[in-house]
């Protein structure tokens, strides 16, 4: 397994609360906040204090523990505790609609709640243990993704990435940036081009920060520049993360990813998605079924609190887009790299590992 220098732990359960990096403050301030209540966790996910599909999955699992701790103080019967906790779990899962890791992790906690034979205190403890297990597994999974992905990175490659699918989008190490980290450990001549990623600038604010912390050569470009550099032959491959992958391989990721994928296809640049199996939603056949989050217009009309357009202009702000499976060269998972035909390769990997079969709602 490869080591990495900036051992950022984005989110961590500490005794009775969740501790996380406040990502709304990056890159100016690297500050941790303690989330001590269930509703506070719902707000932290919604306002993107914590963000990135695997990280919000773990945040959702922590949120269920926080609500369980609160309800345990209310003198409820065991049945009433379980009923109310299931409702709170559904509420936490509704904080953001696109990244399926959130629903997946909350569903894992609901399995604990509904299958436990313990009393209330025992259920709270079991939920805590499950949350810590998901947290630890996330880093191990990302290192496996990184090591599989590194095998397809050409020597001395320039890798383009969009948004942030790094240590700060997961518990640690990252998915797309996990591939970069593992490749860099083997070949320090590789480098990264990071798309700025409007409107929230996760590429500029977060990806450039965590890669330069690790000493990985990184060049920031704006979103419209990718085809220019591909045409010049300056990009050897693209690696991005994912928020939800349908059973046919269609992949939802940060808005702008689809544009990068089309440009990559046109210029014959390999386009890889790196994601854990928990991002694959086998309950949906195609990307058309993925709910795309609509976010506040202010994210588009303002930068750092300053208006950048005519105040009366119409605005639309979808947070994600869906890249059709035919534009994807491979999906790098902890079980290896899935290749087209994705309907077949995804079905095969899920048949091998039934523990990932988790009912979403
Ligand atoms: O809106 P965000 O910042 O949560 O979106 C993040 C992304 O789109 C990431 O690429 C995706 O969640 C994968 S993170 C490993």
- Residue whose entry in the numeric block shows the structure tokens 């732990």: 9
pTM score of the predicted model: 0.95
Does 101 lie in the same domain as 238? no
Q: What are the DSSP calls for 91-141, one per residue?
A: HHHTS-SS-HHHHHHHHHHHHHHHH--S-HHHHHHHHHHHHHHHHHHHHHH
Whether residue 278 is found in the same domain as residue 327: yes
Cβ contacts of residue 17 below 8 Å, gap of 6+? 34, 35, 36, 66
- Compute, in angstroms, the gap from residue 117 CA to the centroid of ligand 1: 36
Residue 206's SS3 state is: helix
With a cut of 70, list the residues of the chain below it in pLDDT: 1-6, 353-361
Task: Please report whether residue 302 resides in a domain.
Answer: yes
Q: What is the pLDDT of residue 8?
A: 78
Question: What's the pLDDT tens digit per position in 42-83?
Answer: 999 999 999 999 999 999 999 999 999 999 999 999 999 999
Atom of ligand 1 nearest to the CA of 163: 10
The answer on 60 and 16 residing in a single domain is yes
Q: Which residues contact 326 (CB under 8 A, 6 or more apart)?
A: 340
CA-nearest residue for atom 15, ligand 1, is: 165
CATH number of the domain to which 250 belongs: 3.40.50.10470
- Measured in Å, residue 137 CA sits from the centre of ligand 1 at 19
| CATH label of the domain that carries residue 56 | 1.20.120.420
Same domain, 111 and 257: no
Judge if 204 and 62 occupy the same domain: no
Distance 51 CA to ligand 1 centre (A): 7
Same domain for 236 and 177: yes
- Are the C-beta atoms of residues 242 and 52 closer than 8 Å to each other? no
Atom of ligand 1 nearest to the CA of 53: 12
66 touches 128 (CB < 8 A): no
- Say if residue 230 is in the same domain as residue 330: yes
Which one from 243, 250, 281, 321 is the annotated catalytic residue? 243
Is residue 341 annotated as a catalytic residue, yes or no? no
Instruction: Find tokens 């079969």 and name the residue.
Output: 357
Q: Compute CA distances 186 → 67, 139, 154, 164, 236, whole Å.
A: 44, 19, 11, 22, 17
Q: What is the structure's pLDDT at 309? A: 98
Which token pair is 194?
A: 């990071």
Predicted local distance difference test score (pLDDT) of residue 361: 33
295 and 244 co-located in one domain:
yes
Q: Report the pocket of ligand 1 as residue ranges, CB < 6 Å.
A: 51-54, 99, 163, 165, 169-170, 175, 202, 241-243, 253-254, 319
Ligand 1 centre from 242 Cα, in Å? 7
For ligand 1, atom 5, name the residue with the nearest CA: 52
Confidence (pLDDT) at 81:
98
Given 142, 161, 187, which residue is the final one in a domain?
142
**What's the domain count of the chain?**
2
Residue 252, domain extent: 144-356
Position 7 scores a pLDDT of: 74
Q: Are residues 129 and 272 in the same domain?
A: no
Residues 306 and 246 placed together within one structural domain of the fold: yes
- How far is 147 from 149, CA to CA, in rounded Å? 5
Q: What are phi and psi of 41, to 5 degrees?
A: -70, -40
């Amino acid at each position: 397994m490869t080591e990495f220098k900036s051992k950022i732990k984005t989110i961590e359960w500490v005794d009775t609360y969740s501790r996380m990096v406040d990502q709304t403050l990056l890159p100016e301030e690297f500050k941790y906040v303690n989330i001590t209540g269930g509703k506070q966790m719902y707000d932290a996910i919604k306002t993107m204090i914590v963000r990135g599909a695997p990280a919000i999955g773990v945040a959702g699992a922590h949120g269920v523990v926080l609500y369980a701790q609160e309800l345990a103080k209310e003198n409820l019967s065991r049945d009433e505790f379980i009923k109310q906790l299931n409702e709170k779990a559904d509420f936490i899962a509704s904080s953001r609609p696109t990244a399926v890791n959130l629903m997946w992790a909350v569903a894992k906690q609901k399995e604990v709640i509904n299958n436990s034979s313990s009393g209330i205190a025992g259920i709270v403890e079991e939920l805590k243990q499950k949350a810590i297990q998901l947290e630890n597994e996330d880093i191990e999974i990302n290192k496996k993704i990184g090591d599989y992905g590194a095998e397809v990175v050409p020597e001395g490659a320039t890798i383009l990435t969009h948004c942030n699918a790094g240590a700060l989008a997961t518990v640690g190490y990252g998915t797309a940036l996990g591939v970069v980290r593992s490749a860099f450990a083997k070949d320090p001549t590789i480098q990264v081009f990071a798309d700025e990623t409007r409107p929230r600038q996760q590429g500029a604010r977060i990806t450039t920060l965590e890669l330069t912390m690790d000493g990985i050569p990184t060049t920031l470009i704006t979103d419209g520049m990718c085809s220019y550099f591909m045409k010049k032959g300056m990009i050897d491959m693209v690696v991005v993360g994912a928020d939800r992958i349908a059973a046919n391989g269609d992949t939802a990721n940060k808005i702008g990813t689809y544009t990068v994928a089309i440009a990559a296809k046109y210029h014959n640049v390999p386009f890889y998605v790196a994601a854990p199996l928990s991002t694959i939603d086998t309950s949906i056949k195609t990307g058309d079924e993925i709910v795309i989050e609509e976010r506040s217009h202010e994210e588009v009309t303002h930068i750092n609190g300053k208006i950048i357009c005519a105040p009366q202009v119409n605005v639309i702000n979808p947070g994600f887009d869906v890249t059709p499976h035919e534009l994807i060269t491979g999906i790098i998972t902890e079980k290896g790299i899935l290749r087209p035909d994705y309907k077949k390769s995804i079905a095969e990997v899920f048949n091998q590992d039934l523990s990932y079969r988790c009912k979403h709602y």
